[in-house]
Chains A and B, each alone.
Chain A
């Protein structure tokens, strides 16, 4: 049974049989990303959750063309696709990289940075579930402070999350956006906008809660993602030609009193179970500081 979400096309670009875990946030992000891209897209997909669940050879879940490629090569594969499309004069097909946080913030950052510096005509989308979930929940550069992973198993990660969107902003590309799998219309709008802005590198970073990795009940994926946004742990914004603006629910959160305390977000996730009240207090301070900098970036 189709349950169309208000304002989104009913056309689906994933065939049934997509074998993601129950309550997978990155599946939601991919589904709505593909709706926004439409059929005129070629995806370069590196190692990660998506290729492990999107069908086994010789079957596929995709109704758009996909180039599976090595872990660190998502952007490079997309750059090559874009170059070939340009050589052929095919202007209405979008070259897209679809990579996880490990494939983006860690092993794939060189190829991504190279593509952005050259201004290759690609749309790079990071689905961020904040660890190497496909290989069994190991820490990545995008894992937040305090999270228990299988390679930070006792005291949790000691470093903060790598700020990929702002690293991309430093490349001065024309469009950077953040989104979250709990906000389908937000994903749709930003991916669509990014896919239509041809001629330069565009970057969209989508936070995707992961039940098995974050250790929450799988029926709470949407709720957890929304809490990430309403607590201010994850801000939804766009940077268009250098102009930073908060979007959607994040717009109203500059005033700290409007933000839900991060404790509520942490409390629902097993990965943060070892955080002490003192550490949570310090993290709340850290989040508040992040928002101070967003405030400056808006120019308020």
Chain B
């Protein structure tokens, strides 16, 4: 029987890994993710989950060990945050290049210095070019459901790419919310055991993973093609995300959006774009402003890789402006969501106004009034006909901003 429990984002991720019957877990403690792997080590030690738990000495080894385990043909899981994810960077590329469907939960946290354990998206955004799919959850139920869906998508033979499921540190990772845990049999029906095409553990059919592919050596010159196929798989994943999302809705009655989730975007002029938990708050902001007569909608970027280019382009035809909130910065350029949305609209003839807002760095609260301010300022830009600044840093305690 499905049951509704009150639990944190961290534990929701752990329960999802348990429900997915992962066989090897390797993890290292880091705030705010630690309760995830504490809970998993408990269910493993209690014998509730038949899995090997490797208490590794670093995140680099956590992901490296999962690469070994996944290549040997088992379902794997890890969790991390911030510096742990940054330390994994090299092996994130490796896991994706090796086409291993590892799923990782990330409790988003800012990078130091100054030391900061609180939420922003710099950690995962900095890994967006590694070949991992990236899902950002809005609440704890979405964390749980997305981990299950991520395995289905990642293990699809036409995808075979790793996935990270991201939840805002503390805001979700430590916040107790209701989460429905489905019946295990229903999960098993949705997510059968992982059956890889290639695995290392068949001595009669040995394989070599990752041999050097050399340019200008005709028989070996396949590096570019390997990369091209990763891109093709990412594009394919867009379809799979939708298919799996629909199937999940059919089986479990819940839907969190495909690559994006539109909220009251009909007849909207300005769309407030958010990633993660503040996408929930954006809906409240929209409701309030709609009640006052503002033509406003909200857009949640649920998937950041593959990027929802088509969805953005489609919405762009129907609205006048995007107010894009970023909890990260690509220094010397702009926030990541702003950058990607601008790039997605490059091919569109009638371009809406796209305005960036940076807020919520290092765990600074994102208030509804601040998201509202972003919308209001975007309306002012619309009236003016052009944005006064490309990006506004909301709540900044020093002057500036370009």
Do A and B come together as binding partners?
Answer: yes
- Whether, in the assembled complex, B275 has its beta carbon less than 8 Å from a beta carbon of chain A, the answer is no
**Contact call B61/A93, Cβ cutoff below 8 A:** no
Query: Which residues of the other chain, A, contact B206 by a CB distance below 8 angstroms?
Result: 39, 62-66
Residues of A within 8 A of B211 (CB): 51, 54-60, 66, 68
A87 at the B interface (CB under 8 A): yes
Contact B61 A76 (CB under 8 A): yes
With contact pairs A73-B64, A85-B201 given, residues A60 and B51 touching in the complex (Cβ less than 8 Å): no
Known contacts A42-B201, A56-B212, A110-B58, A69 near B74 by CB under 8 Å: no
B385 CB–A CB distance under 8 Å = no
Closest residue to B73 on the A side, CB-wise?
A: A84
Q: When chains A and B are docked, how far (Å) is the Cα of A8 from the Cα of B214? A: 35
Q: Using A83-B69, A120-B54 as known contacts, say yes or no to A73 and B24 having CB atoms under 8 A apart.
A: no
Within the assembled complex, what's the spacing in Å between the Cα atoms of A85 and B72?
Answer: 7
Shortest C-beta distance, A141 to chain B (Å), equals: 19
Q: Which residues of B contact A (CB under 8 A)?
A: 23-24, 26, 50-52, 54-58, 60-61, 64-74, 76, 90-91, 94, 200-204, 206-214, 217, 219-220, 222
**In whole angstroms, what is the CA distance A59 to B211 when docked?**
8
Most-contacted residue by chain A among B24, B56, B64 (CB, 10 A):
B64
CB closest residue in chain A, given B51: A87
Complex interface residues of chain A between 38 and 75 (CB less than 8 A to chain B): 39-42, 44, 51-52, 54-60, 62-70, 72-73, 75
Q: Which of A111-119, A171-179, A193-201, A254-262 contacts B (4 or more CB under 8 A)?
A: A111-119
Q: Is the CB of B200 within 8 A of A111?
A: no
Provide a sorted-by-A list of 18 A–B residue pairs whose CB atoms are within 8 angstroms: A55-B208, A55-B211, A57-B213, A58-B213, A62-B208, A66-B206, A69-B67, A72-B60, A75-B61, A77-B68, A79-B65, A80-B65, A80-B70, A80-B71, A81-B69, A85-B201, A86-B52, A120-B54
Contacts of B90 in A (CB 8 A): 70
A120 to B68, CA, bound (A): 13
Contact pick for A70, options B91, B202, B209, B219, CB 8 Å:
B91
Out of A60, A93, A111, which one reaches B201, CB within 8 Å? A93
Residues of A within 8 A of B (CB-CB), count: 49
What is the distance, in angstroms, from B215's C-beta to the closest C-beta of chain A? Answer: 11
A168 CB to closest chain B CB (Å) equals 15
A88 to B52, CA, bound (A): 10
Question: Which A residues are within 8 Å of any B CB, using their own CB?
Answer: 39-42, 44, 51-52, 54-60, 62-70, 72-73, 75-88, 90, 93, 95, 110-111, 113-114, 117-118, 120
Q: Which residues of B contact A93 (CB under 8 A)?
A: 201, 203
**In angstroms, how far is the closest chain B Cβ from the Cβ of A22?**
20
Which residue of the partner chain, among A40, A67, A120, contacts B67 with CB atoms under 8 Å? A67
CB distance from B287 to the nearest CB of A (A): 48
Say whether A80 contacts B72, CB under 8 Å: yes
Given contacts A52-B212, A67-B68, contact A83 B203 (CB under 8 A): no
- Assess whether B91 is in contact with A73, with CB atoms less than 8 Å apart: yes
A87 interface neighbour in B64, B74, B209, B214, Cβ under 8 Å: B74
Give CA–CA (A82, B26) in the complex, Å: 12
Residues of B with C-beta under 8 A to A77: 64-65, 67-68
For B64, the chain A residues whose CB sits under 8 A away are 69-70, 73, 76-77, 80, 111
A65 touches B94 (CB 8 A): no
Nearest chain A residue, comparing its CB with the CB of B55: A118
